[in-house]
Structures are given as C-alpha cells and as structure tokens.
C-alpha cells in the first residue's frame, strides 16, 4: 500500500529527533547529515504518492483512535497538501544545509536540528491532516516549536521577548481557532475534512457561520502576521537567519494562509468572507509594503515584505473568484521560493559583514559579486520584474483587480488603483534592498571585511534562484501541473483554464506594472523625505516594550485576581468549599416538595438502645465542640463517639465494621494523644464572634442537609447489586464472609489500590517527620518508673503472644467469619503498640527490630505478586483460586490464593499503623532541650 | 428509628464542619474525624436498615445485610486512619517549621 507511506512522511521528522540529537553530540557534520537524511527520507517517501496526488483525487489513510468521539488518526494528501509538503521538506532540506554553515562553531547544532525537525513535523501534520482536531494539535505543535526556534539564542533578551510575543499571539490565535474548528465541526456534523469541504453550502447558510468564521480567521490571521496581529513577525527576526528563512517563507506564517486555502471550499464565497479576508489582506499588503521601506535593518525590511506578501495572498483568497484563488496558490509557491532565497542571501551578507544596517552595508556587489547577483535576482522577483516568477503571480493579481465582478462601474478603478499603489511600494522597498546593499558607494565601518561565503553555503540560494528563473521563464513547464492540482483543492467545482506565459500582450495589467515600477523607483529616490517624516511622527514606543508592558500588567492582574480567592488561607478555602457544596445541594433540591423528603418505606420502631446511642453521640459531639480547645478533654469526648459508632455497627449487623472501627479507634486515640505533647495544651480563643457565627451557620446548614439526605435515603427502597456477591461468595470465592471475599477477591483490585493509598500516607508521614524538631510544651513525667509503670509493663509482655495469637486467628478465619487482613492487622498493631506504651519506645524498638518501611513494601509486593501470579495461568489480574487441605491432627481447612493477598493487606496495615505511631513516639527523643517550658505561640490574626 | 439515625448523622456533620473551620490544626483533625464517622455511616446505610443477620453466605440466613457498602466502608475506616496520621504529621511539621499551630502558618498572604 503506497498510501500508507503518508504515515512515514509525517513520522519521519519526529522519529529523526532523537538520532539527530545523538549525532549532534558526535560532530556538527553528523548532525547536519542526519537531519538532511530525515528531510530527504520524507521527500523520498512522498515520491511514490505523487501520481495519485496529481490525479486530483485526495488520498486518505486512516487509523482508528477514538472513533466514538469522531477522532481518528487520518491523513490526507491532495494537491494543496502535496504542494505544502514539498515546500516544507524541500526548503527544509536546503535550510539544513545552510544552517550547518551559518551557525557558529560552538553552537549546539544537534539541538537546533531537533527543534527544526519537530517544527517541520508539526507543519507536515497541519498540511496532511484529514481530521481537523488532529490538525489543531499539529497547529499547536508548530506554535510551540517555533517558540523554541525563535528563542534559539535565549541568552539574548530580545530573542526571549520575541519568542514570548510569537507564542502569545499565535497561541492566542490558536485558542480562537480551537473554538472556530469545534463550531465548524458541529455545524458540518463531522471533523473529517472530506465531509466538511463537501458541505460548504450548508455551512455558509448556518446562523453560527459568522461567529465561526471570525474565530477561524483569528487563528489564521495571527499565524500569518496579518494586520493588526503582524507585530510578532518582525520581532521574530531575533531568531538565527536559517530559522527566519524557514519560518517566514515556506512554513510557519504560511500555515495561516494554508488554513484559509484548506477551508476555502467550505467557508469562502460569502460577502462576509470578501469583507473580512479581503480587507485584512489589502490593509496588510499595503501597510507591510509601506513600512518595509522604512526599515534600516535589511532583515526587518524582509520581515515587513513578508507581511506584505502574506497580505497579498490573503487578499487574493478574499477576492472570491476562481482565478484569484489560483493566483493565491501561485503566489504561495513563488513567495516561498524567492523569500527563502532572499533570507538566506541576507544571512550570508549578515554573516560576512557582522551587521544588518543598510546605512552601513553598501557596495557589496564589489565584494561578493556572485551572492549579490543571486540576491538581485531574488529581489527582482519580489518586486515583480518580468522573466522572474514573482512577475507572473503579480500579473495574475493585477488582472483579477481589473476584472473583479464586485467592483464594476464607477468603483471599477478602486481595486486596480490600490493594486498599483501597493505594487509601487513593493518596488520601492525591493529597490532599496538592491541599491543600498549591493551598490550605493562603499561600506561604512563594518566589523568584518566581507567576501564570498563558502561554496556550500551559497548552494541553497543558487538552487532557489534557479527555480525563480525556471518558473519565471518556463512557468507552464515548471509549475503548471502542480499549480493546477493544488488549486483544484480550493476549487472542487473545477479549476478555470489558465495559461501560464511570460507574455500576455500589451494590456491594462502590464500598464499597471510599468506604472508601479516608475512610481516605485521615484518613491525610493525620494525616500529621505519619508524617513524624516517617519522619524518625526512614528510612535516612540516599540512593540516589544509595549508587549512586555501588557504582558507584565496581565501577570499582575492575574495575581491580583488569584489573590481574591487563593490567598493561602486554609480556613477560607474550607469555608468556600462548604459554602459551594451547600449551594450545589440547595440547587439540586430546588422545587422538591417537602412531603417527598420521606419515602415510602415503613418506619422502623425506635428502641431504647438506639435512643441511648443517639444520646451518647450528641453527648460526645457537644463535648468535643465545647471543649475542643482543651485537647485532652476533646479526645476523651471524641472517643465516646467512636465507640458508639462501633456499637452501632454491631447493632446494624456489620461485625467486620465494628471490629475495624474499634481497633482504628484505639490507634487513632493513641495517635492523637502522642501529638498532644507537642501542641499547646490549650488553644487561646482565636476566633471572633462574627467568625464563630458564620462557621456555626455553615455547620448547622451542613448538618441539616445531611439529616435530610440520610432520612430521604433511609425511607426509600433500593435495588441492591449485592445479590451476585452473596450468591457467588462461597462457590466463586471460597468463603462465606462476603465482606472479606469482596475485599480480597471480587473487588481485589480496589483493595490493592486502597492499601497502596494507606502505604503512601504512612510513607508521607515518615518523610514529613524526618528531621522535624519540636519543643514539648509541658514538663514530662519525672522519673523512668513513673513513665512506665512496672505492673503495666509486665502484664503487657505476657499479653503480647496471646494478642498476636488472636490476631492470627482473626486473620485465618477472615474468609469465612468476621475478620480478615485489615482487622487482624489492626489487632496486631494494637498488640505491638501496647508494648511501646507500656515499656517505652527504646525498650520496644530494641526488641522489635523491625523496619516498618520494608514490611510495608513487602506487603505491597506480596499483594501485587498474588495478582500477577494469576497471569501465569492465563487468567486476568488477581483471579483467585482455592482448595481444601487436610493436615493431620486438626480439622480440614481451606487455602485460597486470596489469603496470600490478604497477607499482603495484613502486612501493610500493621506496618502503616506502627510506622505512624512509632515515628510520632520517637519525636520525643529528638526534643529540643534548650529552653524548658512552653513559649506561647503567637496568636495569628484571622483572615 | 430512621429519623433518629438521620439526626445523629446531622449532629456529627455539623460538629465536624464547625471544628473543620476552626483555625488550629488540632481542631481540624478532630473535625475531620467526626466527619469521617458521619460519612462512613452514611455510606454504610446505603444498604438500608432492617437486616437481620450479618452478611455471611450461610444457608438459611435471614435477610443478611448488604455486604457491598460494608466492604466499601471497611477500607474507608482504615484509610481514614491513614489520613488522620498524615494530617497529624503535617500539623507537627508546621509546628516545627513555623512554631504555631495555626492552619495558615506561614502561608497566607
């Protein structure tokens, strides 16, 4: 399948990045050769696709990606894509060669080529994409990589600002384009170009067409440097010349006009299109040409001439006639060729002279006649001198202005007059470039003495200038077929017959040309008046300064805006969070009649135990609230609530939960008690009454909300999905304790995640407390005996084996009766913790030499390995199996693979709990003993 | 009984929220613990009241409880401990660094 070579064309630059970087570490030439190979490979892969592309039928290749979202990886090669792919790869190849000579010896050439290749890949993606979403992604890649390329000399402030400017403008345009493309996709009902381009009439008739068009045009105009978004383009000249030659002739800025051309069948033809695209193009065309003459830096002159020519292409596309579309495509080709060669010639002069100021560089024809000849030919093409390619597309443009159907009768002179004036300005700046640089006396005070560049550095310019001449002299032979097929992509209804010839006879367009030349030369000769005027009236603020000002102010504004909500105060965040949740709840409940809060289920009678539990919960909560500033008392009240919760779980037929809650309760309380030593015993009242009232209101609303929610839920019937688990627990999981079977078998993957979270929390604590030094607030117990009462210590040592035996028992029975890894782990942790409490951390640590972090890791490893083991037998991750063994002496018992998993759970739980407690306990050994007694913490103001 | 349980959850939530909004780290820990009780029990009650036996797959069990919410809550309780422990460590770290137990220590602008 030759069509699949299209993937290779697109992938080649990206695949080449890493090899080129590696080659760049070896030598410059290795980097250059490998980059050139990549470009050449792209061209080679394109060659077999040429016959299909020239047949006029688009080639589409496709790979499913997210078909349900209308997102496929799809590429398309038609005439327009082919033209651009040839420009990107062909001129790219010349740029690679040129850059090897242009960039200084000490530069990181590998990195440069890598960025260049990434950029070329992005451009190829834009021009070859069939799916518009995919095109957008590549569009953004070109924005990002051009940012890198422009900032190549990042040690220069200018380059950094220029890169930032380019990214801000083109990236902002990219956002608008995203909106536009999404709209277009919705209007057309597809993101596939084939579909979109075929539905032009429906798209143009859609009420959202104007919005969508403006959005897409914003994207195209920012990219192509159209007025008033042009200002990033001249500043991007801070990039090295090979980058400028590539970005501003054939690629980056052409992406904008490519987009206009690509969507031409779908979007063009309306008056809105004529007005928006035509006017923008015309203004840019004239403005760029006018400013170009005023630039003393010849790269600046070329930059504004690029803006001007892009304006011309945009204007041609905006004229809405078939022939003007053909002229636009033709000028895309011609401009790419002569502008790339001009930039490279300018780079040579810059390289040889060490400056780009045309007031100092004069008379170069004498020093480098061959380069000068090349530059003069290319500049002639830019001005539209006959026998060169630029002349042909300019004549096409002039012809279109004369015959345009929208400007007839009295208005018929408007377009031709405008075209002649703009043509005159183009002639003037081209004349300046030629005359100032190559003639006009002797050079003034150059840092270097100029001479001809190395043979190979000039070769790319020679190739391009040869093309300028070839197209100019034999247009039909050189580009006729390519132009026809490329224009065919814009004009699906058929390309009008056109004749590419040097001589069309003596007609009005030719008169306009002659007029433009005469006036242009006159304009150039009188340039000094213009310079004086410009000096006097031009704004004193340059665009980088203005941009930086806006950039800085935008940053300040964003910081200020952020500060309104994000001021670093947890209290405020929590209050906002609670308020927002309450608002959501109110919104969700709006309009619900009050009587529907109670569901149809019959009420369960209240018994004394429930009432007592309720009383205890209220007692515990109120106590915690009232005494929350006396921490020890608060903990006591809190534990009441925890115990009642455990009892409630027993009452509600959840023995597993009751066991878990009880043991967690114990370790939590111990944990909190351990912190008391380092936190002030009492908090000074820090909240104002208003704050308390606000928080009270929030809390009360939350409480009411939860009450209503819980009541509404409890009185409504529901369809459980647990029937499967209850039925399959024994036959499928080999256990009767359904809760445990769910944990280690049915939902084992969830549990794996959960113990991982637990392990992370414990490790986080471990890391946080590393190196923390705290001052205990109160005097500690007076003697060692007082700290560890002898009776307690002895008793606990006796109890330890017993408690561990219970833990093992709970673990083993867990699959069938309440218990399991979580609960057993907690019980074991409590048993070991008691040793720490009773005998002190030194005593326990000396005997329990366990590295809890390792146990943690081992537990996770065992759990994961159990899951992986099922892969060995070809089953999905964590598939369990079980069987019964009949050891002598005791009853038969069951062995399930889930048990190994549960062992992992057990180890993680034990290790996490003990890691947390022992680390907190160990803090007291690192106390700062310098100043005894508490120093009151400064009371912070509320925010 | 439904109303009593719902009220108890409301009391737990209200107390938890109030403590969560207090300016000292320890109160936040207390508040989160109370809120965890409320949330755990609420999820658990997704299985509704009225079960007459624990969720064991034994023959002849009379309306066993819904095992799924129980499994969910069991791990939630244990992770709740992990969260508390982490929070406490954070509070102590802040105390060590900033010498205050205010939740906004050294952060707020």
Note down the domain range covering B20: 2-49+65-103
- Among A578, A641, A695, the residue with its CB nearest the CB of B37 is A641
pLDDT band at A936 (very low <50, low <70, confident <90, very high): very low
pLDDT band at A279 (very low <50, low <70, confident <90, very high): very high
> Token digits for A776?
């205990």
Restricting to B residues 70-109, those with a Cβ less than 8 Å away from any Cβ of A are 70-71, 73-75, 77-86, 88-93, 95-96, 99-105, 107-109
Q: Which residue has the higher pLDDT, A544 or A289?
A: A289
- pLDDT (0 to 100) of residue A927: 56
Is B80 in Cβ contact with A664 (below 8 Å)?
yes
Phi, psi of A243, rounded to the nearest 5 degrees: -65, -45
Q: CA–CA separation, A474 vs A467, rounded Å?
A: 10
> Token digits for B37?
């009780």
- Among A703, A739, A762, the residue with its CB nearest the CB of B10 is A703
Is B34 in Cβ contact with A641 (below 8 Å)?
yes
User: DSSP secondary-structure letter at A496?
Assistant: P
Q: What is the DSSP string of A328-381?
A: HHHHHHHHHHHHHHHHHHHHHHHHHHS--BTTT---HHHH-HHHHHHHHHHHHH
- Among B40, B70, B109, the residue with its CB nearest the CB of A739 is B70
Is A769 in Cβ contact with B81 (below 8 Å)?
no
Instruction: Specify the residue for token string 């929070």.
Output: B87
Q: CA–CA separation, A70 vs A165, rounded Å?
A: 34
The CA distance from A569 to the nearest CA of chain B, in Å, is: 5
Contact A578, B13 (CB under 8 A): no
Structural domain count, chain B: 1
Q: CA–CA separation, A902 vs A896, rounded Å?
A: 10
List of chain B residues whose C-beta atoms are within 8 Å of the C-beta of residue A611 = 4
Q: Is B108 exposed, middle or buried (0-12, 13-18, 19+ CB in 10 A)?
A: middle
Q: CA–CA separation, A192 vs A828, rounded Å?
A: 62
Nearest chain B residue to A713 by CA distance is B46
- pLDDT (0 to 100) of residue B96: 81
Contact B10, A618 (CB under 8 A): no
The CA distance from A792 to the nearest CA of chain B, in Å, is: 26
Whether omega before A95 lies within 30 degrees of 0, making that bond cis, reads: no
Q: CA–CA separation, A516 vs B57, rounded Å?
A: 96
Residue-wise pLDDT for A369-427, tens only, equals 899 999 999 999 998 888 888 888 888 898 888 888 877 777 778 888 888 998 999 99
User: Does residue B45 fall inside a structural domain?
Assistant: yes
Q: pLDDT above 90 covers what percent of chain A?
A: 38
Residues 6+ apart with CB under 8 A from A844: A832, A835, A836, A918
Mutation choice for A interface testing from B12, B16, B21 by most A CBs within 10 A: B21
User: Does residue B81 fall inside a structural domain?
Assistant: yes
Of A433-447, A464-478, A666-680, A925-939, which has the strongest mean pLDDT? A464-478
pLDDT band at A893 (very low <50, low <70, confident <90, very high): low
Q: Domain containing B19 — which CATH number?
A: 1.10.287.3510
CA distances in angstroms from A49 to A7, A56, A58, A220, A481, listed in the order given: 11, 12, 11, 28, 15
Strand intervals (E) in A263-344:
none
- pLDDT (0 to 100) of residue A737: 87
Residue A923 forms beta bridges with which residues? none
- pLDDT (0 to 100) of residue A786: 57
The CA distance from B63 to the nearest CA of chain A, in Å, is: 10
Number of Cβ within 10 Å of residue A396's Cβ equals: 21
Phi, psi of A75, rounded to the nearest 5 degrees: -115, 155
Q: CA–CA separation, A921 vs A840, rounded Å?
A: 9
pLDDT band at A892 (very low <50, low <70, confident <90, very high): low
Buried-state track B49-87, b at ≥16 Cβ within 10 A, e below 16: bebeebbbbeeebeebbbbbbbbbbbbbbbbbbbbbbbb
Contact A153, A92 (CB under 8 A): no
The CA distance from A761 to the nearest CA of chain B, in Å, is: 5
Residue-wise pLDDT for A83-102, tens only, equals 999 999 999 999 999 998 88
Contact A755, A859 (CB under 8 A): yes
pLDDT mean across residues, chain A: 86
Q: CA–CA separation, B28 vs B19, rounded Å?
A: 6
| A501: three-class secondary structure by DSSP | coil
Phi, psi of A350, rounded to the nearest 5 degrees: -55, -45
- pLDDT (0 to 100) of residue A866: 86
Number of cross-chain residue pairs from A and B with Cβ atoms under 8 Å apart: 335
User: Does residue B58 fall inside a structural domain?
Assistant: no
| A727: three-class secondary structure by DSSP | helix
pLDDT at A782 > cutoff 50? no
| A420: three-class secondary structure by DSSP | helix
Is A668 in Cβ contact with B33 (below 8 Å)?
yes
User: Does residue B57 fall inside a structural domain?
Assistant: no
pLDDT (mean) for B57-64: 78
B62 touches chain A (CB under 8 A): no
Residue-wise pLDDT for A46-56, tens only, equals 999 888 888 88
pLDDT band at A362 (very low <50, low <70, confident <90, very high): confident
Is B48 in Cβ contact with A645 (below 8 Å)?
no
Residue-wise pLDDT for A482-501, tens only, equals 999 999 888 888 888 888 87
Is A675 in Cβ contact with B91 (below 8 Å)?
yes
Q: CA–CA separation, A936 vs A931, rounded Å?
A: 13
Residue A60 forms beta bridges with which residues? A76
pLDDT at A781 > cutoff 60? no
Is B104 in Cβ contact with A943 (below 8 Å)?
yes
pLDDT (mean) for A758-773: 89
Q: Which residue has the higher pLDDT, A934 or A543?
A: A543
Mutation choice for A interface testing from B43, B44, B92 by most A CBs within 10 A: B92
Q: How many CA atoms lie within 13 A of A305 on its CB side?
A: 37
Residue A883 forms beta bridges with which residues? A895
pLDDT band at A642 (very low <50, low <70, confident <90, very high): very high
As a whole number of Å, the end-to-end CA separation of chain B is 48
| A774: three-class secondary structure by DSSP | coil
- Among A621, A675, A919, the residue with its CB nearest the CB of B34 is A621
User: Does residue B60 fall inside a structural domain?
Assistant: no
Nearest to A170 by CA among A231, A116, A101, A222: A222
| A728: three-class secondary structure by DSSP | helix
pLDDT band at A850 (very low <50, low <70, confident <90, very high): confident
List of chain A residues whose C-beta atoms are within 8 Å of the C-beta of residue B78 = 660, 664, 754, 758, 822, 826, 909
User: DSSP secondary-structure letter at A597?
Assistant: G
- Among A638, A699, A923, the residue with its CB nearest the CB of B30 is A638
Instruction: Specify the residue for token string 């040129």.
Output: A98
Handedness of CA B85, B86, B92, B96 (dihedral sign): positive
List of chain A residues whose C-beta atoms are within 8 Å of the C-beta of residue B96 = 772-774
User: Does residue B108 fall inside a structural domain?
Assistant: no
Q: Which residue has the higher pLDDT, A61 or A735?
A: A61
User: Does residue B59 fall inside a structural domain?
Assistant: no
Mutation choice for A interface testing from B49, B61, B70 by most A CBs within 10 A: B70
B32 touches chain A (CB under 8 A): no
- pLDDT (0 to 100) of residue A928: 46
User: Does residue B78 fall inside a structural domain?
Assistant: yes
List of chain B residues whose C-beta atoms are within 8 Å of the C-beta of residue A625 = 15, 18-19
Residue A297 forms beta bridges with which residues? A357
> Token digits for A149?
């390329």
> Token digits for B55?
């969720």
Is B82 in Cβ contact with A758 (below 8 Å)?
yes
- Among A634, A653, A730, the residue with its CB nearest the CB of B65 is A653
List of chain A residues whose C-beta atoms are within 8 Å of the C-beta of residue B63 = none
The CA distance from B41 to the nearest CA of chain A, in Å, is: 8
> Token digits for A453?
């560049």
- pLDDT (0 to 100) of residue A935: 46
List of chain B residues whose C-beta atoms are within 8 Å of the C-beta of residue A826 = 78
pLDDT band at A937 (very low <50, low <70, confident <90, very high): very low
A578 Cα distance to chain centroid? 31
Residue A668 forms beta bridges with which residues? none
Phi, psi of A607, rounded to the nearest 5 degrees: -115, 170
B1 touches chain A (CB under 8 A): yes
B50 touches chain A (CB under 8 A): yes
pLDDT at A907 > cutoff 90? yes
B57 touches chain A (CB under 8 A): yes
Q: What share of chain A is helix, strand, coil (3-state, %, to 5)?
A: 75, 5, 25
Contact B39, A702 (CB under 8 A): no
């Amino acid at each position: 399948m030759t069509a699949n070579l299209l993937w290779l064309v697109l992938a080649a630059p990206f695949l080449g990045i890493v090899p080129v970087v590696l080659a760049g570490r070896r030598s410059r030439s290795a980097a250059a050769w490998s980059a050139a190979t990549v470009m050449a490979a792209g061209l080679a892969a394109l060659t077999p696709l040429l016959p299909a592309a020239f047949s006029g039928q688009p080639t589409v290749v496709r790979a499913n990606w997210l078909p349900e979202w209308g997102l496929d990886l799809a590429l398309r090669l038609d005439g327009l894509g082919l033209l651009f792919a040839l420009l990107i790869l062909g001129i790219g190849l010349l740029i690679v060669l040129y850059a090897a000579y242009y960039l200084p010896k000490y530069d990181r050439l590998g990195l440069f080529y890598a960025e260049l290749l990434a950029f070329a890949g992005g451009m190829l993606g834009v021009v070859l994409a069939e799916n518009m979403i995919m095109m957008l992604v590549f569009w953004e890649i070109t924005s990002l990589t051009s940012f890198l390329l422009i900032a190549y000399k990042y040690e220069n402030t200018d380059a950094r600002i220029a890169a930032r400017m380019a990214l801000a403008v083109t990236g902002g345009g990219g956002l608008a384009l995203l909106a536009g493309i999404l709209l277009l996709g919705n209007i057309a009902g597809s993101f596939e170009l084939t579909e979109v381009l075929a539905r032009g009439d429906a798209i143009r008739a859609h009420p959202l067409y104007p919005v969508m068009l403006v959005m897409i045009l914003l994207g195209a105009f920012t990219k192509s440097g159209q007025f008033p978004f042009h200002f990033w383009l001249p500043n991007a000249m801070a990039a090295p010349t090979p980058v400028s030659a590539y970005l501003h002739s054939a690629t980056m800025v052409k992406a904008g006009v490519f987009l206009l051309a690509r969507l031409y069948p779908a979007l063009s033809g309306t008056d809105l299109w004529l007005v928006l695209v035509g006017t923008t193009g015309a203004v840019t065309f004239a403005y760029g040409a006018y400013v170009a003459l005023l630039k003393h830096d010849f790269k600046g002159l070329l930059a504004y001439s690029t803006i001007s020519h892009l304006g011309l292409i945009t204007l041609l596309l905006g004229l809405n006639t078939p022939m003007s579309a053909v002229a636009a495509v033709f000028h895309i080709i011609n401009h790419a060729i002569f502008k790339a060669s001009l930039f490279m010639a300018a780079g040579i002069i810059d390289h040889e002279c060490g400056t780009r100021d045309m007031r100092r560089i004069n008379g170069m024809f004498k020093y480098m006649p061959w380069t000068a000849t090349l530059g003069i030919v290319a500049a002639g093409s830019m001005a539209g001198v006959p026998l060169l390619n630029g002349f042909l597309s300019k004549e096409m443009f002039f012809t279109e202005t004369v015959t345009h159907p929208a400007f007839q009768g009295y208005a018929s002179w408007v377009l031709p007059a405008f075209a002649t004036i703009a043509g005159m300005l183009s002639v003037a700046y081209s004349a300046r470039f030629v005359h100032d640089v190559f003639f006009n006396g002797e050079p003034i005070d150059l840092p270097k003495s100029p001479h001809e560049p190395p043979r190979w550095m000039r070769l790319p310019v020679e190739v391009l200038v040869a093309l300028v001449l070839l197209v100019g002299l034999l247009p039909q032979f050189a580009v006729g077929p390519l132009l026809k097929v490329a224009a065919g992509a814009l004009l699906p209804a058929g390309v009008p017959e056109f004749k590419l010839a040097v001589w069309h006879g003596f007609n009005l367009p030719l008169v306009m040309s002659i007029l433009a030349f005469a006036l242009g030369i006159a304009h150039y000769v009188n340039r000094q008046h213009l310079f004086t005027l410009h000096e006097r009236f031009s704004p004193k603020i340059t665009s980088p300064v203005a941009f930086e000002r806006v950039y800085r102010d935008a940053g300040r504004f964003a910081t200020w805006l952020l500060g309104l909500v994000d001021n670093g105060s947890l209290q405020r965040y929590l209050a906002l969070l609670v308020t927002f949740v309450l608002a959501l709840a109110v919104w969700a409940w709006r309009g619900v009649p009050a009587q529907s809060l109670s569901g149809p289920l019959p009420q369960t009678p209240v018994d004394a135990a429930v009432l007592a539990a309720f009383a205890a919960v209220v007692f515990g909560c109120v106590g915690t609230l009232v005494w929350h500033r006396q921490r020890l008392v608060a903990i006591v009240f809190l534990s009441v609530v925890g115990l009642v919760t455990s009892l409630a779980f027993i009452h509600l037929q959840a023995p597993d939960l009751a066991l878990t809650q009880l043991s967690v309760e114990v370790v939590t309380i111990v944990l909190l008690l351990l912190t008391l030593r380092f936190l002030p015993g009492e908090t000074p009242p820090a909240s104002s009454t208003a704050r308390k009232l606000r928080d009270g209101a929030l809390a009360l609303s939350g409480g009411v909300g939860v009450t209503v929610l819980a009541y509404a839920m409890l009185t409504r019937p529901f369809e459980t999905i647990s029937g499967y688990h209850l039925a399959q627990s024994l036959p499928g999981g080999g256990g009767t304790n359904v809760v445990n079977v769910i944990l280690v078998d049915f939902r084992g993957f969830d549990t794996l995640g959960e113990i991982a979270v637990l392990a992370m929390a414990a490790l986080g604590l471990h890391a946080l407390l590393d190196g923390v030094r705290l001052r205990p607030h109160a005097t500690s117990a007076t003697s060692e005996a007082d700290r560890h009462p002898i009776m307690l210590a002895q008793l606990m040592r006796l109890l330890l084996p017993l408690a561990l035996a219970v833990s093992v028992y709970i673990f083993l029975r867990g699959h069938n009766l309440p218990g399991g890894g979580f609960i057993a782990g907690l019980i074991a942790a409590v048993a070991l913790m008691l040793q720490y409490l009773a005998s002190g951390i030194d005593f326990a640590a000396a005997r329990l030499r366990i590295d809890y972090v390792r146990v943690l890791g081992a537990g996770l490893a065992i759990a994961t390995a159990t899951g992986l083991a099922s892969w060995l037998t070809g089953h999905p991750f964590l598939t369990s199996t079980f069987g019964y063994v009949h050891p002598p002496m005791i009853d038969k018992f069951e062995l399930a693979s889930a048990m190994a998993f549960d062992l992992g759970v057990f180890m993680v739980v034990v290790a996490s709990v003990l890691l947390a407690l022992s680390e907190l306990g160990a803090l007291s050994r690192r106390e700062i003993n310098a100043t005894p007694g508490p120093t009151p913490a400064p009371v912070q103001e509320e925010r | 009984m439904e109303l009593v349980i719902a009220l108890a959850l409301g009391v737990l939530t209200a107390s938890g929220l109030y403590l969560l909004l207090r300016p000292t780290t320890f109160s936040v820990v207390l508040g989160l613990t109370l809120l965890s009780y409320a949330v755990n029990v609420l999820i658990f009650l997704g299985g509704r009241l009225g079960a007459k036996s624990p969720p064991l797959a034994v023959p002849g069990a009379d309306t066993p409880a819904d095992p799924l919410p129980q499994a969910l809550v069991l791990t939630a309780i244990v992770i709740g401990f992990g969260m508390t422990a982490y929070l406490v460590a954070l509070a102590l770290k802040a105390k060590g660094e900033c010498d205050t137990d205010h939740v906004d220590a050294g952060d707020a602008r």
